[in-house]
Structure 1
């Protein structure tokens, strides 16, 4: 009988055997053989992209409420539950997910590109500047660069999603869906600049946020005790990693949230001028509190979004016969 080849998770965490990811050759179907022959980085991109879509779709109603608050389209004093009820009554269930199609398309590409770019930038930094070591500084720099790369590649889809989500009903360009919104933005901006409106505040937020996400997550994860890989201990480690991811997301989101509000208002044609001018205009016209409008909903949706994303990612990796691993898949090629 042919010996079963172990599959290793090439991470800094552990070198674990993944029984789910390494079926015996006798049980491999043609489809499974084709999957295994696909480069690991491509399968990781698919797994990350699908997980991102599942996570974003799960919290799409809360995302729409947050966007409406950010741009001042929500009734003053209305709570999240009240807004969800009003949207459901006025627009039906579909209204709760308005703009999610564009968001799902954007998120899939963003998460796939983000993961791949992070690994490439990290390897580059480790080779070009070994004095930095393999620690928080490298994670911060690689994560920031990866976040910027993903934003540049997918920004027009984010702009379309914002305009679709904030439309109370679909008249005009929104009626034609994402393509109609992008054509309208293209005409308004006099060309490509129109579909990249708000890019500067987006980059100003994403660069530090993405870097902080990786940096804080890896730093916290390094503090998790290395227990024996028994069933109970393994479950505890998974729960601890989820907590690390949630904490990293909350820290990064809080630190950069005002720039997200500025970005959304610029995308919708408000704010005026550049990032700094828009920042000042929002404070003068709507008050400093507007810079944190919707932050509470961001906190509420961050926990389920992170949890759903991690579970979906693990499930997709199992389907794609990838070893269980964390963000640092140094063994991927």
Structure 2
């Protein structure tokens, strides 16, 4: 065989198969849709977040006489009596910033990852697993971006009315000066461990439910799914994902208030721990396994509503953009 024959016998590589997937510029508009959805959702659901965090940071058992909060109705009455209506929106500005930044990063990253995944066999072999992986990567990127905002938000909600930081800006500056980057990223690893699978399960469940809806209702496309059904699918996705990883969320919040005990004396005993493992150990030792699920009900309600609104608003804005371009 001549060298020329050998050269011609080598199979030609299909350049299309190795070419970098083309970036769809529509993803910028999808990022915008994600930001709008996050903004609206955060404003509506902030009171649930305040309730959740107050329960998560309370060391005393729920049935104890020393507990400031013993149930959701009683907690609502107490916050309203002590802090007024504004108390339910404590930490709203950093929370709003967190939601918008995270919403933009999450939805943009998910669509980008999904574009790349479509060129791999995994996506076509098991779309649910592909959606989980893409969602997890999107959640990880969002976590890296917003953890400092989450730390500030948690402390503003956790502090006494006349102690701590006067505003979001001062909170950032004070934590950065006194505790450094490490202070702004307290609980980061727990956030990553929690949010990545949570976002993955969220996207996977939502996409699965939407695909099932198309089949059950004999629709031609997901864009034909009624808004109310989209809302329900989003709510179910949020409930399932949050229930799976909730103890990690509780531990993350307790890690974020370490070194902050002087500014929350009116909320009972301050929780102290030395690390992730110690956080779980101390919680179980003092409060039992039930303590790992403190604040779960307001959290599940908030997550269900948040997820439902996020997906519903996001999908409808995307549909509106597509119909007008």
What TM-score, normalized to structure 2?
Answer: 0.78
- Residue 95 (structure 1) aligned with residue 84 (structure 2): no
1:186 aligns with 2:176: yes
Query: 2:46 aligns to what?
Result: 60
Take 1:118 and 1:305, find their aligned partners in 2: how far apart are those partners?
Answer: 18
Tell me how far 1:215 sits from its aligned partner.
1.2
Q: State the Cα RMSD in Å.
A: 2.6
Q: Is residue 199 from structure 1 mapped to residue 198 from structure 2 by the alignment?
A: no
What is aligned with 1:293? 294
Tell me if 1:117 matches 2:109: yes
Alignment pair present for 1:246 and 2:235: yes
Higher RCO, Cα 8 Å, sep 6+: 1
User: Where does residue 57 of structure 2 map in the other structure?
Assistant: 71
Q: Structure 2 regions of 5+ residues with no counterpart?
A: 1-23, 61-66, 259-270
1:92/1:77 CA distance change after superposition, 3 Å = closer
Q: Is the 8 A contact 1:271 1:277 kept in 2?
A: no
CA offsets, 1:5-62, max 9 Å, x none? xxxxxxxxxxxxxxxxxxxxxxxxxxxxxxxxx9522222122112112112112112
Greater Cα shift, 143-152 or 179-188 = 179-188
CA contact (8 A) 2:35 2:101 kept: yes
In structure 2, the residue matched to 1:209 is 198
Residue 303 of structure 1 deviates from its aligned partner by: 3.6
Structure 1 segments of 4+ aligned residues over 4 angstroms from their partners: 314-318
1:221 to 181, 188, 210: 210
Q: Please report the TM-score for the alignment, with normalisation by the length of structure 1.
A: 0.76
Structure 1 residues 155 and 122: alpha-carbon distance in aligned structure 2, compared to 1, 3 A threshold: same
Q: Shift of the alpha carbon at 1:226? A: 4.4
Q: Are 2:236 and 2:304, in contact at CA under 8 Å, matched by a contact in 1?
A: no
Alpha-carbon shift at residue 188 of structure 1 (Å): 4.1
CA displacement at 1:296 relative to structure 2: 1.0
Partner Cα separation in structure 2 for residue 261 and residue 56 of structure 1:
19
Q: Deviations over 1:230-252 (max 9, x none)?
A: xxx956x4333322221111111
- The alpha-carbon deviation at position 219 of structure 1 amounts to 1.8
- Supply the distance in 2 between the matched residues of 1:77 and 1:106 (Cα, whole angstroms): 26
CA contact (8 A) 2:105 2:142 kept: yes
Q: Which of 121, 125, 131 does residue 130 from structure 1 map onto?
A: 121
Q: Secondary structure at the match of 1:223?
A: helix
Contact 1:139/1:211, CA 8 A, preserved across alignment: yes
Q: Secondary structure at the match of 1:59?
A: helix
The question of whether the paired residues in 1 share the 8 Å contact of 2:235 and 2:306 is answered with no
The 10-residue stretch of structure 1 (272-281 or 197-206) with the greater mean CA deviation from structure 2: 272-281
SS where residue 122 of structure 1 aligns? helix
Query: Take 2:86 and 2:74, find their aligned partners in 1: how far apart are those partners?
Result: 17
Contact (CA 8 Å) 1:187, 1:194: kept in 2 or not?
no
- Measured after TM superposition, the shift of residue 306 of structure 1 is 3.5
* Residue of structure 2 equivalent to 1:282: 283
Given that residues 45 and 113 in structure 1 are in contact (C-alpha distance below 8 angstroms), is that contact kept between their aligned partners in structure 2?
yes
* Cα 1:312–1:215 shift into 2, 3 Å: closer
The structure where helix makes up a greater share of residues is 2
Aligned-partner SS, 1:207? helix
Distance 2:88 2:229 in 1: 32
Larger radius of gyration: 2
Report the Cα distance in structure 1 between the residues aligned to 2:296 and 2:114, rounded to whole angstroms.
31
What is the CA distance between 1:104 and its match in structure 2? Answer: 0.4
Deviation by residue 1:207-226 (Cα, 9 ceiling, x = unmatched): 11111111112222221124
Q: How has the CA–CA distance of structure 1 residues 131 and 305 changed in structure 2, closer, same or farther, with 3 Å as cutoff? A: closer
